[in-house]
Amino acid sequence: MALTCYLCSGVLPSWLNVGSFGAGSTPMRNLFCPTCGLIQQSPIPKEESYIFEQNISAQELRAKQEGMAAEAQKLLKKRQSMMGETMEQLIRPGMKIADLGCGYGSFIAYLRDQKSVSVLGVELNPQQAQFAQSAFGLPIVPSTIEEWIDRDVEQFDLIILSHVVEHLRDPITVLQRLQKRLTPGGKMVIEVPNVAVPTRSLHWFFKPEHFWNFTHPTFRALLAKAGMRIEVFQTPAEHSKILAVCRYDAVTPVLPSSVYVLKLLCRMQWLRVKSFLRRSLER
Ligand SMILES: [Zn+2]
């Protein structure tokens, strides 16, 4: 049976693999769609543990708890820059904010303490969920985002998805369904890695828990397919990240042009060579 692209439904050639490394003993392919340029893992792993990043060691967790304040600052810095600045623009006191895939919770702890907003975190990784509750006293729902959507009817003014969409098996459906958890006029703040601008080796992108690798046109098309209009879109050249602020509104998805797709394919092949050379030199 022919494989088809998640985004454009075009035929996905099984040989057009742009990243099969970095998965340890698990064979892994990242197929490039010659129609739209989306890079998708094939097959997508079934195990739930692949949704989130692996737990850190007991020693690392202890260090995290001991140096909590310093660690929170460090974690925060990671999320400052684009995410921090964007949130500064959007936040108003009294807002209700949900951070889906909140990790250790440092970002929403900071928002709660500094910006007078009420926050909720959703985190599937038990280690991270537990840390966010005990270290910061945050309300955390330890579940998948899919389960959380139907769990109750509480609505939020802002929903954050920071480096989460690439971990979802069916991101379009999840984004569509999230509309009911947003207040009328509420906004989504979504950040994903940008595979075309790697400031690190490609191994950081091609991981078992990353099912999709976006660039700015494929990410734009995905958001449009999910029924979202983009209000702010940032893809700075110095960051391997894409950030979008969106609201729910019908828009027509535009797929990347064939010229862009061809350029992207050439770029991915060049990045693979660079990554390989870098690794060889490091050995
Ligand atoms: Zn496609």
Percent of the chain predicted with pLDDT > 90: 55
| Ligand 1 centroid – CA 171 distance (Å) | 15
Chain mean pLDDT for the chain:
87
pLDDT value at residue 256: 92
Please tell me the distance between residue 44's alpha carbon and the centre of ligand 1 in angstroms: 16
- What's the gap in Å between 98 CA and the centre of ligand 1? 31
pTM recorded for the entire structure = 0.89
Please report, for residues 54, 77, 119, 214, 259, the alpha-carbon distance to residue 91 in angstroms, rounded to integers and kept in the order given.
31, 18, 12, 27, 39
CATH code for the domain defined by 17-282: 3.40.50.150
Q: Where are the domains of the chain?
A: 17-282
pLDDT at residue 52 greater than cutoff 90? no
Q: Does 22 have pLDDT greater than 80?
A: no
Place 147 in a pLDDT band, splitting at 50, 70 and 90: very high
Asked if residues 235 and 197 have their Cβ atoms less than 8 Å apart, the reply is yes
CA of 143 to the centre of ligand 1 (A): 30
204 or 75, greater pLDDT:
204
From residue 123, give the alpha-carbon distance in Å to each of 50, 105, 195, 204: 14, 9, 24, 21
Q: How far is the CA of 60 from the centre of ligand 1 (A)?
A: 40
Give the distance (Å) from ligand 1 centre to CA of residue 247.
24
Distance, CA 255 to ligand 1 centroid (Å)? 8
Three-state SS at 281? helix
- CA 149 to centroid of ligand 1, rounded, Å: 27
> How far, in Å, is the centroid of ligand 1 from the Cα of 67?
45
